Structure 1
């Protein structure tokens, strides 16, 4: 997707949301996030395969070959519909002049999955695949600070369920077993699928380290119930690496600053506002940084 094409779509989304944000109240956040679903997110076709069907064909496939199939499924719209009910997460801070600012980001309620609402599989993937999906569908990946706030504000907290660290960690068999574990955990909570849920996986994150560590993937999170993450920010793995514990949480390019729609990529570069959404401070040209990963 060309940058001009995406820019026009982002501008259209912001203009379309402007009337909803004339009164900067938190009460509008959920409705605004729901409305921020842009037209370039494809609709799932009725004939699209269920998650279990997709994974059955990938039982003996992993790494970039599995990623390629997953990317095709996601970009064609084979994603459970509840994932597009974006949920608001508010981050509050101050400008250099002391003014209090609230930045509301809109995030997927769960980690990226393929399939339908009844039969879906959460899909770990390498950085290139995650970056392509995010970029082409009008999203960014979260920062570590966003991941922390997503966990803190989530309505559903699933305690981590690590599996044995064997040579099978990257296999489809492992990710399916972990997916079944998460399904069982969620079923016990009796919460709607659209509720913001966190703690079940590590996040692939957007960080300045991707510039100093080319060819690596940055992962962070997997919070325990005490709010402390198992995984500190790490770039130890190559960019193609993905095991069962990794997940892709998408963050809309449309965010809200005191209720006003703004491009999240611009917020992340702003000297004042970047500190609210990133513990690293500004991340220069985050959209291009992400796009360069594939």
Structure 2
């Protein structure tokens, strides 16, 4: 898909959002803009078996194809709204934005795979559907608002932590943790604490090398295991990484804006960023084209 296609889709999303976000002043639910999951779509465990021995490039092609074709659990499809107000230089802003209730996954509600991936692929998926990746500030806000706060479950670091078997092992650990909470909180409620987030940050462009920037994995007291870190390349992903997509279109004082544009605004960037203006709120996609 071309950048022209992405741009056209994003503009279309904004127009649709103007029609759908508010009706007579009432906020409406937002949906993940993917096709319905096909009746013959493969399960998370079948997908795990298909990609287990693939190289990274082929693995990520398969992940992209599955997600864009709609092989995503139903519990991820209704976005969770997060609302807050903030005063900046005597101007008050009332904001509502929408996030995935959990990390991006392949498969069904009964058999899903919370899918670690490189920031290149995450950015490509986000742009294809008019979404963005979170900032550090958004990650913290998601954790604060989460109905379910899971305790981190690290796996001791080894050379295998970037492989599908270890990613699947962690996936099953998290499903076990989540199962305990299902009676009080079904799968479609906002959950946090179980993975590090791939985030957008000025650190993406601070070095000559292209890094992935990660943050989060909050303890139960709200302290993150992982401070903002940019020590891995943008072709790196391990079992602990999660992709939390955030709808780019948001409501600010009942008007539609784009998070990615607000982040570039000197006055308003602090609505979504605690590091000031983020001039390039995205990962470069030259390797993914």
TM-score, normalised on structure 1?
0.89
1:211-245 CA distances to partner (integer Å, 9 max, x unpaired)? 11342100000000101100011110111111110
- Aligned residue for 1:230, secondary structure, equals strand
2:149 to 135, 140, 157: 157
Larger strand share, 1 or 2 = 2
Paired residues of 2:259 and 2:272 also in contact (CA < 8 A): no
* 2:23 matches 1:6: no
Paired residues of 1:63 and 1:125 also in contact (CA < 8 A): no
Mapped to 1, the partners of 2:67 and 2:248 lie a distance apart of 18
Mapped to 2, the partners of 1:62 and 1:243 lie a distance apart of 14
1:183-209 CA distances to partner (integer Å, 9 max, x unpaired)? 111110122111000000000001111
Matches within 5 A, 1:79-158: 79-96=72-89, 98-158=90-150
Q: 1:217: which partner in 2? A: 212
Greater RCO, 1 or 2 (C-alpha within 8 Å, sep 6+): 1
Q: 1:204: which partner in 2? A: 198
RMSD, matched Cα:
2.0
Call closer, same or farther: CA 1:292–1:256 in 2, change over 3 Å.
Answer: farther
Report how many residues are paired: 284
Q: 2:15: which partner in 1? A: 15
Report the CA distance between 1:101 and its aligned residue.
0.9
Call closer, same or farther: CA 1:114–1:215 in 2, change over 3 Å.
Answer: same
* 2:273 matches 1:272: no
Mapped to 2, the partners of 1:201 and 1:92 lie a distance apart of 27
* 2:45 matches 1:44: no
Call closer, same or farther: CA 1:285–1:165 in 2, change over 3 Å.
Answer: closer
Call closer, same or farther: CA 1:280–1:133 in 2, change over 3 Å.
Answer: same
Mapped to 1, the partners of 2:261 and 2:63 lie a distance apart of 29
1:238 to 220, 233, 236: 233
Report the CA distance between 1:22 and its aligned residue.
6.9
Larger helix share, 1 or 2 = 1
- Aligned residue for 1:232, secondary structure, equals strand
Matches within 5 A, 1:186-197: 186-190=178-182, 191-197=185-191
List runs of 5+ in structure 1 lacking aligned partners.
Answer: none
TM-score, normalised on structure 2?
0.91
Paired residues of 1:127 and 1:293 also in contact (CA < 8 A): no
2:257 to 256, 262, 266: 262
Dislocated runs of 4+, deviation >6 Å: none
Mapped to 1, the partners of 2:279 and 2:248 lie a distance apart of 15
Larger mean Cα displacement after TM superposition, 12-21 or 204-213: 12-21
Paired residues of 1:64 and 1:126 also in contact (CA < 8 A): no
List runs of 5+ in structure 2 lacking aligned partners.
Answer: none
Mapped to 2, the partners of 1:279 and 1:143 lie a distance apart of 8
1:69 to 34, 37, 62: 62
Report the CA distance between 1:258 and its aligned residue.
2.2
Mapped to 2, the partners of 1:257 and 1:148 lie a distance apart of 19
Report the CA distance between 1:21 and its aligned residue.
3.3
Paired residues of 1:91 and 1:104 also in contact (CA < 8 A): yes
- Aligned residue for 2:174, secondary structure, equals helix
